[in-house]
């Protein structure tokens, strides 16, 4: 890291900072400029050292050089990773789509939507059994009963399932039922939960927090990777902003940012970003064009009867139409949708 | 809630929306304007109903009228609530200060700082045993060992303690040791955790999430209150923004906003907002002047040796100086610091 | 608009608010609910009336129903408008690209880049002569000399030009030289400037301010339209956020938002959003896939010698490659690039 | 500045970057670490050089060391500057208050409010004659007629006046009438306007843009200072955020940030931040406690008849009450309000 000293500090201060850098196990390289002296501190960079150095007399600020994440970085793993889930593959060359209702409500509605999304080309079924809701008075999901409904559909239709876990106490339970464990945006920095899902053998869908920087999101992936689970799929789902015309602002630039800095696959959730179905298709196509490895889309048989987030759910017809357009855009940028292949 | 219809919709649509409103158990009141028709939907407001109505043909948007929180609202409880912790009291008339190190590191340093902050007038000691850290490679806290060190200090100095819980699995353990259970900003929407601490008998210090609106924060308080625990102290600690000169932007307007909409006490954490000790005193005084019911401040015997967030910790001397200024400002706005009294 | 009264207000208050609504020339419709009374105020909505009503005793808040812009709204003009500039057309069916250097630096470099972008398919040349720079010590543009260089290139290559005006004093001058007048993001709420360019006969490229909501941006368009100039092209260029990995976050959802609410064409500037050339192509393709009517892209012969924003400029080769990809994506979503046609 | 090279670049690249640094007139200092090589580039730092270096092969990023502003910096001028306006003084030791209506509406209302605020202790009268309004259909101010009304009040009451200019064409006119020229938040980066007011001899009240970082705001001050006008008063007025309970979030930490980095005085506008009068007093007191050098407050005789921003205007009584509280807080932190003295 680089330690920038305050203007006009004397030799004594420079030497005491350099001494402390040595004491912390790093090697100091002093450069004196006309106005400022800077000290390069070469060695293993850690945030704690940076904060300790920032607390020293005469230090103006400390600039890190190294990325704080290692296992998630592209420098660690040059090739893009591919995470496979049943017949779906998330990563270079493939585009796969996860779709389904926001929440599991009842067996029939779930089955109806599962058939519809599978037939339109989705390769993984989503559905929430544990729902993180802003209000304690809102529908909180069906819990294990909902997981069982998902398992029944999987068996019947031979489609893998993806569902969220929000509580460390439920990790074992959810792991028993699901193919992909989803960590929602609100849990992105629930580090205890990240650690526990990192100890499972399942692919983890890690959503970006609504106010997380890309580098913080990659640090959360690092929590999972550092437990030995390398199957992390990142998911951009919109960030918080001052714009009130959408629920969250989809940060499409997160896609190339992740691709440049990490080897992990990244998909996009256009539904939670938009917050209204009219914008979902435009955002989904934008995501694919920007290089996303797939999508997760909310679909409901009857959005005006949905127990959760009906405003943003596509109808079955809208979803089928979206899938057709996605195939065209994917082809235009030289990527193929596995399902499309399977269907051919 | 109010249902605003799209421009130019016909009578048929108006009637079908009204019928659906009735079906949902609400009473529709139709007002036809020159350009738009609006329908007031009178009855119990729920977000799900609002989203279902927004999914109907011909509906442009739905505007809620009622606040989504009830137990936390000032309408529910006209008088400001006071939450007592040992000799401290958070609420109208009183100003109390919680202070201590970011993390518990070792018994001696903790005792040294505890004595210093108590002697300067702090009434509650803070110290983290379970630390939510952005990096898996950072110091994660001492866990139960840290809780024991806090308990030892409490016994020795007769000062209540406040410490954070981040995992539902640890609620029972933390509850056994602490006087105030802290829910950190990253856990503000960890609803499972809110529910579990709502079942304890301890005061809960609920920090605002870095990108939470005040109304969402009050909904999180509602989770705790709805479990039967009424002792919630809110804590503003800065929000995420584009400004890079501070770690978070302290939203001092959250103080009067909370006071107007809720009966719960609200304190301020100037340390995490500023991210650097030079700004802590200014923010602390601003908070008191704005009507905050207290503060939580990070103090460390040797910030340049701290294992966590040393850049923002006050030294013992700076803290004593801050306390003197707080007493002056509190008096200027007609509030008294209990400790100051006790010391007289 | 809808006036929501405070909980528990008496009949007297309701009547006095209704009387004031009548006095303001609107018609009040009172609806009494169990907890709240609301009053619909039917008639011409104006912000001033809303603020005056909000100042009355017993009023909690006022919710507008009508959009504040009229001429810019899709309700005013159902069909999407097309703005033509030389052979380029911005609007339904067409995709056109504006490209060139951030700033005009010298005749040879400008001509070199102009030839390159034209040959790759750009239909309008961009280049700044008056540059709004954060620092008074940065290169401020060549002024009229720069405009002359642009005019020379236009004459030589028969390509229309687009350049920015930042000062009301320069509107007449810039109007004399350019084919499209650009209003930069920092000037989006320079209402005097909007009014003056609204009085010219030239197409106006109106960039979105970095912290403007879409509805505020459309209000700025309304300033221009209300002066009689209907040729407004909107341009999304990224919004300010907490993310530091890009200069601004491209709000790709602004594209469908504009399309739903307005008839005006909307293009995207991926260069200023990204702030670094590595991400420009991904953002440009995302914009086209989302339905944008075109792009404005920064291109420089030698980015490492550029006097302004070199980090985000594409080289000539990168731009040619981008254009090829844009044609593919445009075709995939059923739009055609006019230039591509011209070139066939 | 510091040039951080990409991981694994070879000696050739290091040498070519160093050569380019030399060519740009700076001196390169190469430090090789285990993973990265960094090059300190010593000499006059300019943004353009930084961007050119960032465009070179092998360069990952460039970190500036020096602040981009000079005349506005505390390093340039160690002592805090005091700007005097009639009997008011903005700067160390003093607290002065500017108050009055948002817009000048008619002579009688203006005089009534002027007398009220003067008698309560305000030392400068505010009032807008040129109003920047989001809508072209809103009241735009009375222009020169409004300036004349302000001048009449000044003559009658012997109180200096402060009014906004939004257009370079009006600078001369406004300068003829006013004592303080206000640059509004929307004009903070209207660089042509900053340059023109920098050539007047009048104190300039420079509001912070709603999405400007503190360092960008100081760069805008630098534009004025670099023209030879040293009388700049900074004004924090709230920043844009996701919080919808207030109009803007008052960034009270901007006060200590400015104080640490600049010698210029800084005041606070609690009215535009809050957007509703209920919160104005809390924000005003917070600002004073945080070290602000004064306030600018909106006051109106009849807020429910105001032609502009009535929701946030204090009544005469509320303002008198606020002034009494300000005196108490100012005294508590060891500052005095000049007017209070004059009144004694």
Per-residue pLDDT of chain C (344 residues; tens, 9 = 90+): 889 998 888 899 999 999 999 998 888 988 887 778 888 888 877 777 888 898 888 898 898 888 889 999 998 999 999 999 999 999 998 899 999 999 999 999 999 999 999 999 999 999 999 999 999 988 899 999 999 999 999 999 999 999 999 999 999 999 999 999 999 999 999 999 999 999 999 999 999 999 999 999 999 999 999 999 999 999 999 999 999 999 999 999 999 999 999 999 999 999 999 999 999 999 999 999 999 999 999 999 999 888 888 899 999 999 999 999 999 999 999 987 555 444 43
Q: So what's the pLDDT on residue D342?
A: 43
> Is the separation of the CB atoms in A278 and A303 below 8 Å?
no
In angstroms, the separation between the Cα of residue A293 and the nearest Cα of chain C is 13
In whole angstroms, what is the distance from residue A270 CA to residue A318 CA?
A: 14
D31:A43 CB<8 A: no
Tens digits of residue pLDDT in A133-178: 998 988 899 999 999 999 999 999 999 999 999 999 999 999 999 9
Q: So what's the pLDDT on residue C324?
A: 96
Q: So what's the pLDDT on residue B254?
A: 98
In whole angstroms, what is the distance from residue B224 CA to residue B218 CA?
A: 10
Nearest CA in chain C to A259: C279
D36:A241 CB<8 A: no
Q: Residues D276, D281, D287, D292: is their CA dihedral positive or negative?
A: positive
Paired tokens of B91: 């609420």
The partner residue sitting opposite A242, judged by closest CB among D4, D42, D241, is D241
Paired tokens of C246: 């890009």
Residues with Cβ within 8 Å of C281's Cβ and at least 6 positions away in sequence, in order, are C270, C314, C318, C321, C322, C325
The partner residue sitting opposite D2, judged by closest CB among A2, A34, A42, is A2
The partner residue sitting opposite B36, judged by closest CB among C35, C38, C65, is C65
C40:B33 CB<8 A: yes
C52:D305 CB<8 A: yes
Helices (H), C128-190: 144-157, 171-177
∠ CA C263-C267-C269, nearest 5°, is 155
Helices (H), chain A: 11-23, 47-54, 107-120, 144-157, 171-177, 191-197, 214-225, 254-261, 270-274, 280-289, 316-332, 338-343
Look at chain B and count its residues: 344
Residue D184 sits at φ, ψ, to 5 deg, of: -75, 170
Paired tokens of C336: 């055609």
B282:D274 CB<8 A: no
Cβ of residue B65 closer than 8 Å to a chain C Cβ:
yes
B251: left (phi over 0), alpha (psi -120 to 50) or beta: beta
Q: Which CATH number fits domain C2-63: 3.40.50.300, 1.10.260.40, 3.30.70.1140, 1.10.287.110?
A: 3.30.70.1140
- What chains are in contact with D, requiring at least 3 Cβ pairs below 8 Å? A, B, C
Q: In D, which residues are within 8 Å of A33 by CB distance?
A: 40, 42-43, 65
The partner residue sitting opposite A47, judged by closest CB among B135, B187, B191, is B135
Nearest CA in chain D to A75: D7
Distances (CA, A) of C247 to C91, C239, C244, C309: 28, 9, 7, 11
Going from N- to C-terminal start, the domains of chain D cover: 2-63, 83-343
Q: Which residue's entry shows tokens 């819990």?
A: A143
Q: In C, which residues are within 8 Å of B42 by CB distance?
A: 31, 33-34
Q: In B, which residues are within 8 Å of A247 by CB distance?
A: none
Radius of gyration of chain D (CA): 23
Tens digits of residue pLDDT in A316-331: 999 999 999 999 999 9
> Is the separation of the CB atoms in A134 and A161 below 8 Å?
no
User: What SS3 class is residue D91?
Assistant: strand
Tens digits of residue pLDDT in D197-231: 999 999 999 999 999 999 999 999 999 999 999 99
3-state secondary structure chain B: CEEEECCCCCHHHHHHHHHHHHHCCCEEEEEECCCCEEEEEECCCCHHHHHHHHCCCCEEEEECCCCCCCCCECCCCCCCCCEEECCEEEECCEEEEEEECCECCCHHHHHHHHHHHHHHCCCEEECECCCCCCCCCCCCCCCHHHHHHHHHHHHHHCCCEEEECCCHHHHHHHHHHCCEEEECHHHCCCHHHHHHHHCCCCCEEEECCCCCCHHHHHHHHHHHHCCCCCCEEEEECCECCCCCCCCCECECCHHHHHHHHECCCEEECHHHHHCCHHHHHHHHHHHHHCCCCEEEEEECCCHHHCCCCHHHCECHHHHHHHHHHHHHHHHHCCCEEHHHHHHC
Residue D39 sits at φ, ψ, to 5 deg, of: -125, 120
This model of the complex carries an ipTM of 0.94
Cβ of residue A71 closer than 8 Å to a chain C Cβ:
no
In angstroms, the separation between the Cα of residue D142 and the nearest Cα of chain C is 14
Cβ of residue C68 closer than 8 Å to a chain D Cβ:
yes
Q: Does residue D340 have a pLDDT over 60?
A: no
Tell me which of A63 and B101 has the higher pLDDT: B101
Paired tokens of D325: 């509280």
User: What SS3 class is residue D339?
Assistant: helix
Q: So what's the pLDDT on residue B37?
A: 87
Residues with Cβ within 8 Å of B158's Cβ and at least 6 positions away in sequence, in order, are none
Mean pLDDT, chain B, rounded, equals 93
Cβ of residue A241 closer than 8 Å to a chain B Cβ:
no
User: What SS3 class is residue A231?
Assistant: coil
In whole angstroms, what is the distance from residue A73 CA to residue C200 CA?
A: 52
Paired tokens of C47: 């912000």
Cβ of residue C324 closer than 8 Å to a chain A Cβ:
no
* Mean pLDDT of all residues in B6-33: 89
Q: In A, which residues are within 8 Å of D240 by CB distance?
A: 242
Mutate: best of D242, D247, D261, partner A, most A CBs <10 A: D242
In angstroms, the separation between the Cα of residue C209 and the nearest Cα of chain B is 15
Cβ of residue C58 closer than 8 Å to a chain D Cβ:
no
* Mean pLDDT of all residues in B127-141: 92
On the CB side of A246, CA atoms within 13 Å amount to 31
In whole angstroms, what is the distance from residue D116 CA to residue D120 CA?
A: 6
Residue D286: alpha-carbon gap to chain centroid: 17
Residue A286: alpha-carbon gap to chain centroid: 17
Q: So what's the pLDDT on residue D337?
A: 59
Cβ of residue D25 closer than 8 Å to a chain A Cβ:
no
Mutate: best of B6, B38, B66, B238, partner C, most C CBs <10 A: B38
Cβ of residue D34 closer than 8 Å to a chain A Cβ:
yes
> Is the separation of the CB atoms in D47 and D59 below 8 Å?
no
Q: Which CATH class is domain D83-343?
A: alpha beta
The partner residue sitting opposite D34, judged by closest CB among A4, A33, A42, is A42
Cβ of residue C249 closer than 8 Å to a chain B Cβ:
no
């Amino acid at each position: 890291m680089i330690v920038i000293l305050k203007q006009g500090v004397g030799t004594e201060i420079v030497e005491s900072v350099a001494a402390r850098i040595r004491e912390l196990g790093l090697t100091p390289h002093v450069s004196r400029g006309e106005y400022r002296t800077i000290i390069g501190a070469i060695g293993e960079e850690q945030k704690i050292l940076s904060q300790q150095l920032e607390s020293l007399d005469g230090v103006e600020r400390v600039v890190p050089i190294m990325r704080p994440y290692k296992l998630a970085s592209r420098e660690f793993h040059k090739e893009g990773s591919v995470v496979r889930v049943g017949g779906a593959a998330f990563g270079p060359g493939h585009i796969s789509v996860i779709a389904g209702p926001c929440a599991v409500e009842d067996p029939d509605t779930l089955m109806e939507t599962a058939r519809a999304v599978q037939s339109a080309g989705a390769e993984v079924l989503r559905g929430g059994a544990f729902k993180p809701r802003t209000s304690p008075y809102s529908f909180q999901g069906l819990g294990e009963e909902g997981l069982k409904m998902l398992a029944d559909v999987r068996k019947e239709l031979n489609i893998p399932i993806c569902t969220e876990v929000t509580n460390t106490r439920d990790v074992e339970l959810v792991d028993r039922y699901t193919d992909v464990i989803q960590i929602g945006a609100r849990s992105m920095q629930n580090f205890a939960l990240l650690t526990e899902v990192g100890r499972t053998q399942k692919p983890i869908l890690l959503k970006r927090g609504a106010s997380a920087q890309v580098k913080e999101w990659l640090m959360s992936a690092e929590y999972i990777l550092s437990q030995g689970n390398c199957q992390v799929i990142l998911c951009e789902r919109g960030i918080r902003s001052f714009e009130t015309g959408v629920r969250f602002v989809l940060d499409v630039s997160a896609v190339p940012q992740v691709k440049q800095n990490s080897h992990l696959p990244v998909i996009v959730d256009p539904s939670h970003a938009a917050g209204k179905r009219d914008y979902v298709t435009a955002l989904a196509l934008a995501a694919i064009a920007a290089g996303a490895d797939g999508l997760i889309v909310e679909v409901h048989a009857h959005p005006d009867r949905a127990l959760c987030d009906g405003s943003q759910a596509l109808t079955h017809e809208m979803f089928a139409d979206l899938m057709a357009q996605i195939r065209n855009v994917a082809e235009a940028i030289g990527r193929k949708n596995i399902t499309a292949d399977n269907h051919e």
